[in-house]
Amino acid sequence: MSKTLHHRACHLCEAICGLTIETEVQDDGSTQIRSIKGDAQDTFSRGHICPKAVALQDIQSDPDRLRQPMRRVGTEWQAIAWDEAFELVAERLSEIQARHGQNAVAIYQGNPSVHNYGLMTHSNYFLGQLKTRNRYSATSVDQLPHHLTSHLMYGHGLLIPIPDVDHTDFMLILGGNPLASNGSIMTVPDVEKRLKAIQKRGGKLVVVDPRRSETAAIADQHVFVRPGQDAALLFGLLNTLFEEHLTRSSHLPIEGVDEVRQAIAGFTAETMSPRCGVPADTIRQLARDFAAADTAVCYGRMGVSTQAFGTLCQWLVQLINLVTGNLDRVGGVLCTEPAVDLVASTSGGHFNRWQSRVSGLPEYGGELPVSALAEEMLTPGEGQVRALITVAGNPVLSTPNGRKLEQALDGLEFMLSVDFYINETTRYADLILPPTAPLEHDHYDTTFNLFAVRNVTRFNEAVLAKPQGTLHDWEIFVALAKAFAAKTGVDLKPTMAPEQMIDMGLRFGSYGDKSEHKLSLASLREHPHGLDLGALKPNLAGRLKTATKAVQAAPGIILADLQRFAEQPQARAGELLLIGRRHVRSNNSWMHNYHRLVKGKPRHQLLMNPADLAQRGLADGQRVRVQSRVGVIEVEVAASEEMMAGVVSLPHGWGHARPGVQMSIASEQPGASANDLTDERQLDSLSGNAALNGVPVQVEAA
Ligand SMILES: Nc1nc2c(c(=O)[nH]1)N[C@H]1C(S)=C(S)[C@@H](COP(=O)(O)OP(=O)(O)OC[C@H]3O[C@@H](n4cnc5c(=O)[nH]c(N)nc54)[C@H](O)[C@@H]3O)O[C@H]1N2
Ligand SMILES: Nc1nc2c(c(=O)[nH]1)N[C@H]1C(S)=C(S)[C@@H](COP(=O)(O)OP(=O)(O)OC[C@H]3O[C@@H](n4cnc5c(=O)[nH]c(N)nc54)[C@H](O)[C@@H]3O)O[C@H]1N2
Ligand code: SF4
Ligand SMILES: [Mo]
């Protein structure tokens, strides 16, 4: 029996750790995975691995994972041939568009769409042909405020400055828990060691979070903040920097700083303190500490973008780095120079060119906010959505008011899912097309090299051969494109394989044919542990894509949003606010079907401060009813000193006890869905991003 060692990047989360995977050919000719370990020779991830990567072998062997197209007939699923499936899609979608117009077909693309490069290169080959304005994705339950802010300030939604974790002296994290998430919009494998290294070289780590998270627990300082009120804290910080003359000049061309200074003159630490629940002295001292550090980073993630003032938060984060001279500076925040550069090769994007039909929510980059999806299906009238395509997504569990979305899915004329599970969402599909599993296709990270804390690049071959009769995601989209073009009489331009596109991207990129590196697919193949292209360096001045080629510190639509912030009603006394959390053994909604990850004590309880429990006469471990405007769930409550009083925490992605879900292990430990409580009307109305954090709830004994 022959054994082989493979070197391969993990693309389950944003950290892109290098793995060493041993496979063995069995007597019957099949290949089995023997072990999955961190790759010590990857100079970026340095051997780091987390439990999810070990579960790649469970994804591979999971009997619940679909391996052939499945068509639903009533509540029954029947296998059908690929060609028949493609023909069915072309027939149904072209017919629905002919009857009801192009916008009658909606598209939702989930999170793995940006992790699986074949979906990045080819999903639009088919989806683009549909020419629908009803495009949605997980972006608007996640990082839309980051893109909008970069689009407005730097001229490109992907030009996002990344924390220079390895060189900074002071790191201020708001609403991110990299010890659980392994970093986000900050590709930083081995993050715990890197954060502790800041402290070892005499620097400081400060975490702002309504929960004393795993990251807060290792920090030098943890500040509790009232959920959804980080903008108040950030205004207080920025105002203090101006008022106490703690600013530093920048080498960058910048327009609008004085306008900002005037606009926020009233937002002092003292006036902001009651809103965010952080003492004014703490706010002022934090501003002084930040400004006094030689280099410093302010970083705000999930917890501060998925809230009512998500865009204000991301803008304020940028401004704090900017006015302290830490934007585009070693030890501050810096933009990457990736080998395949989506910033260079795409235009800066657009915002609010059209709006959603029912609620008038703004488009960004051709997508509408997913909070509008259910109402676009449920509200009759011209332009009503009648069909849906989901790609690598589970919006029933991951978007606000999942129960309303279920109702909407139930009424569709046709639904197609490209996914390998029959889960809470895909059970409504008429047809499921399953792609190959992660280790069965090759990988180049088009997305997360762009957000990495060093300039890195790597290409890896598939670890396992593609089983007979299966297709990669990209091949499914090519086949769909051909079937649809044939049906509608469209002339389809030829395409090439993802790896060929990457080869071109590499060779035309800044490390390509015209550089000393001469990177190409062939040269990356010779470096399966990845290539380090050096530390991030200042480059923003040359990369700005704004009309004036200057940083726009005071975009008009953001300044206009200050009014909404000033007028926000105060929280009601005694109200509990719901927030989310992540765990290192879980990955959004889809990795609960692997025994290795879910074994042991449940990790999906509602966490609540002991004082809040006592006040309601509740006990640790009891089952409780949690109610919001939109729904009610039952869940076990756990007393936790980690929680700020008045705040409860529930992870999303659970709630597998829905009828028809065919994920046997997940169904045994179902948990409840946080998004049966989150409210599709609670938004960062500027961007349309969902406000998943800070949802008012009542909790009582079940
Ligand atoms: N309350 C609350 N809600 C949240 C969040 C929160 O913090 N709190 N987080 C939000 C965030 S940040 C995100 S990104 C979203 C995620 O939301 P979604 O992207 O909608 O959901 P996932 O759970 O990532 O589901 C991924 C789906 O893709 C499938 N899949 C996995 N790999 C592949 C592949 O290679 N190809 C294909 N075709 N399918 C694949 C899986 O089977 C699964 O069905 O959830 C959001 N929702
Ligand atoms: N293990 C694991 N890793 C993952 C994922 C996963 O599901 N599991 N998902 C991946 C995805 S899609 C993403 S987008 C990233 C997200 O990565 P992160 O942004 O690091 O997300 P979380 O770990 O959810 O951390 C969010 C933190 O925000 C806090 N928070 C909630 N509300 C507020 C608030 O109002 N203000 C402040 N200041 N803090 C608040 C929460 O308590 C929590 O500690 O993680 C990725 N990595
Ligand atoms: S942290 Fe875990 S899931 Fe994320 S890339 Fe690394 S090994 Fe994979
Ligand atoms: Mo995400």
pLDDT at residue 227, rounded to an integer: 97
Rounded distance from Cα 519 to ligand 1 centre (Å): 33
Nearest to 136 by CA among 477, 388, 353, 473: 388
Is 208 near ligand 2, meaning CB less than 6 Å away? yes
pLDDT at residue 569, rounded to an integer: 81
Residue 456, helix vs strand vs coil:
strand
pLDDT at residue 52, rounded to an integer: 98
Alpha carbons 228 and 493: distance in angstroms, whole number: 47
Give the C-alpha distances (Å, rounded to integers) separating 526 from 131, 289, 458, 461, 509: 41, 46, 10, 11, 19
Model pLDDT for residues 208-252, shown as the tens digit of each residue: 999 999 999 999 999 999 999 999 999 999 999 999 999 999 999
- Amino acid identity, residue 108? Y
Is 370 near ligand 3, meaning CB less than 6 Å away? no
pLDDT at residue 581, rounded to an integer: 98
DSSP letter assigned to residue 175? S
Q: Residue for token digits 């979906």?
A: 119
φ/ψ (deg, to 5) at 14: -80, -5
pLDDT at residue 58, rounded to an integer: 98
Is 227 near ligand 2, meaning CB less than 6 Å away? yes
8 A C-beta contact, residue 344 and residue 156: no
φ/ψ (deg, to 5) at 513: -50, -35
The angle subtended at Cα 594 by Cα 591 and Cα 595, nearest 5°, is 135
Alpha carbons 597 and 589: distance in angstroms, whole number: 13
Is 580 near ligand 1, meaning CB less than 6 Å away? yes
Nearest CA to ligand 1 atom 3: 398
> Relative to the alpha carbon of 693, which ligand is closest?
2
Question: Whole-prediction pTM value?
Answer: 0.98
98: Cβ–Cβ under 8 A, 6 or more apart, which residues? none
pLDDT at residue 572, rounded to an integer: 75
Is 651 near ligand 1, meaning CB less than 6 Å away? no
The angle subtended at Cα 273 by Cα 267 and Cα 279, nearest 5°, is 135
8 A C-beta contact, residue 159 and residue 194: no
Select 571-701's CATH number: 3.40.50.2300, 2.60.40.10, 2.40.40.20, 3.40.50.1100.
2.40.40.20
pLDDT at residue 169, rounded to an integer: 98
Is 175 near ligand 2, meaning CB less than 6 Å away? yes
8 A C-beta contact, residue 682 and residue 568: no
Model pLDDT for residues 80-118, shown as the tens digit of each residue: 999 999 999 999 999 999 999 999 999 999 999 999 999
Rounded distance from Cα 133 to ligand 1 centre (Å): 22
As assigned by CATH, the class of the 144-338+539-564 domain is: alpha beta
DSSP letter assigned to residue 679? -
CA 62 to chain centre: 25
Rounded distance from Cα 405 to ligand 3 centre (Å): 31
Is 10 near ligand 3, meaning CB less than 6 Å away? yes
> Relative to the alpha carbon of 178, which ligand is closest?
2
Is 142 near ligand 1, meaning CB less than 6 Å away? yes
Nearest to 516 by CA among 540, 533, 500, 538: 533
φ/ψ (deg, to 5) at 17: -70, 145
pLDDT at residue 574, rounded to an integer: 73
SS percent in the chain: helix, strand, coil, step 5:
35, 20, 45
Name the β-bridge partners of 206: 172, 221
Alpha carbons 13 and 133: distance in angstroms, whole number: 29
Mutate to test the pocket of ligand 1, among 405, 588, 635, 661 (most ligand atoms within 8 A of CB): 588
- Amino acid identity, residue 35? S
- Closest ligand 2 atom, CA of 584? 1
> Relative to the alpha carbon of 19, which ligand is closest?
3
Same fold, 144-338+539-564 and 571-701: no
Which positions of the chain have pLDDT values less than 50?
A: none
> Relative to the alpha carbon of 51, which ligand is closest?
3
Nearest CA to ligand 1 atom 37: 392
Kindly list the domain boundaries of the chain, sorted by start residue.
Answer: 2-54, 144-338+539-564, 571-701
Alpha carbons 174 and 678: distance in angstroms, whole number: 21
